[in-house]
């Protein structure tokens, strides 16, 4: 079973790479940000709670996020492996994931950092549009949709995230980069960290992720085309 963690600062390109990698590896993506945004859209108690933190550019507390993620990992579609986008985001979350996987005789296979310098992150987030149905990301300059305002993949309309306002972008970068360092250190200590240059084009970043994963023994499931 492959458990792949995609790490990166806000706007680094995790959500762009995750579905492409999922298609290559034949395992699903679990993205905590997408789960929180769906809960906000549906007006659930989880969504109302999470929104307070998201709108302020802060991380949602570990006790809420860990439970949500572990419940999601227990679903049958994650049994053959999973790509985690946006989790873990703190040392506490990384330890909780290790513990839950160890109880199933499993472990994180690889944690790939998509490395992008801070000045570029702001540019990426401020030009981002995502689709309403599944959160597929586009960028008005770097990765525009074929038809303005419409998702290439599922035809739903594109919108700008509430937390991509300039002041919230700055708050996310100020408040979340320290915790990312904790998570990188955690996976460096367990020997599963890899880093790819996220400043390259989207296809080149994907190719670099594939190389990094194969060095950690992560290969497509039998029958999948890589």
Site residues for ligand AP5 per CB under 6 A: 8, 10-16, 32-33, 36, 53-54, 58-60, 65, 86-87, 89, 93, 124-125, 127-128, 137-139, 142-143, 163, 172, 201-202, 205
Q: Name which of Mg ion, ligand AP5, none residue 46 binds, using a CB cut-off of 5 to 8 Å depending on partner kind.
A: none
Q: How far is the CB of 2 from ligand AP5 (least distance, A)?
A: 20
Task: Tell me which residues are annotated as active site.
Answer: 14, 89, 128, 161, 172
Q: How far is the CB of 164 from ligand AP5 (least distance, A)?
A: 7
Query: How many beta carbons lie within 10 A of that of residue 91, not counting itself?
Result: 15
- In Å, what is the CA distance from 67 to each residue of 81, 97, 104, 156? 19, 10, 16, 30
Q: Name which of ligand AP5, Mg ion, none residue 72 binds, using a CB cut-off of 5 to 8 Å depending on partner kind.
A: none
Q: How far is the CB of 58 from ligand AP5 (least distance, A)?
A: 6
Q: How buried is 109 (Cβ within 10 angstroms: 0-12 exposed, 13-18 middle, 19+ buried)? A: middle
- In Å, what is the CA distance from 134 to each residue of 19, 70, 81, 169? 10, 21, 20, 21
Q: How far is the CB of 25 from ligand AP5 (least distance, A)?
A: 17
Query: How many beta carbons lie within 10 A of that of residue 178, not counting itself?
Result: 9
- Contacts of residues 49-58 at CB distance under 8 Å and 24 or more positions apart, as own/partner, are 54/162, 54/163, 55/162, 55/163, 55/168, 56/168, 56/171, 57/163, 57/168, 57/169, 57/170, 57/171, 57/172, 57/174, 57/175, 57/176, 58/171, 58/175, 58/176
Residue (13 or 81) nearer to ligand AP5, CB: 13
* Main-chain phi, psi angles of 15, to 5 degrees: -70, -20
Q: How far is the CB of 189 from ligand AP5 (least distance, A)?
A: 19
Q: Name which of Mg ion, ligand AP5, none residue 201 binds, using a CB cut-off of 5 to 8 Å depending on partner kind.
A: ligand AP5
CA-nearest of 85, 87, 55, 72 to 163 is 55
Residue (1 or 23) nearer to Mg ion, CB: 23
Residue (2 or 65) nearer to ligand AP5, CB: 65
Q: Name which of ligand AP5, Mg ion, none residue 19 binds, using a CB cut-off of 5 to 8 Å depending on partner kind.
A: none
Residue (123 or 221) nearer to ligand AP5, CB: 123
Residue (2 or 32) nearer to ligand AP5, CB: 32
Which residues contact Mg ion by CB under 5 A?
A: 15
């Amino acid at each position: 079973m492959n458990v792949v963690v995609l790490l990166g600062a806000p706007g680094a390109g995790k959500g762009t790479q995750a579905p492409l990698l999922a298609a290559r590896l034949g395992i699903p993506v679990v993205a905590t940000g997408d789960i929180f945004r769906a809960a906000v859209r549906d007006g659930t108690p989880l969504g109302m709670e999470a929104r307070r933190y998201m709108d302020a550019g802060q991380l949602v507390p570990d006790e809420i996020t860990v439970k949500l993620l572990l419940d999601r990992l227990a679903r049958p579609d994650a049994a053959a492996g999973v790509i985690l986008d946006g989790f873990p985001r703190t040392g506490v979350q990384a330890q909780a994931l290790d513990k839950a996987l160890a109880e199933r005789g499993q472990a994180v296979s690889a944690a790939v950092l998509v490395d992008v310098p801070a000045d570029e992150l702001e540019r990426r987030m401020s030009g981002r549009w995502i689709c309403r149905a599944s959160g597929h990301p586009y960028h008005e300059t770097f990765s525009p949709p074929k038809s303005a305002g419409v998702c290439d993949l599922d035809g739903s309309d594109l919108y700008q995230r509430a937390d991509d306002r300039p002041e919230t972008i700055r708050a996310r970068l100020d408040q979340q980069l320290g915790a990312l360092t904790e998570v990188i250190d955690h996976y460096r200590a367990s020997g599963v960290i890899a880093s790819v240059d996220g400043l390259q084009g989207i296809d080149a970043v994907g190719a670099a992720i594939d190389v990094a994963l194969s060095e950690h023994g992560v290969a497509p499931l039998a029958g999948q085309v890589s």
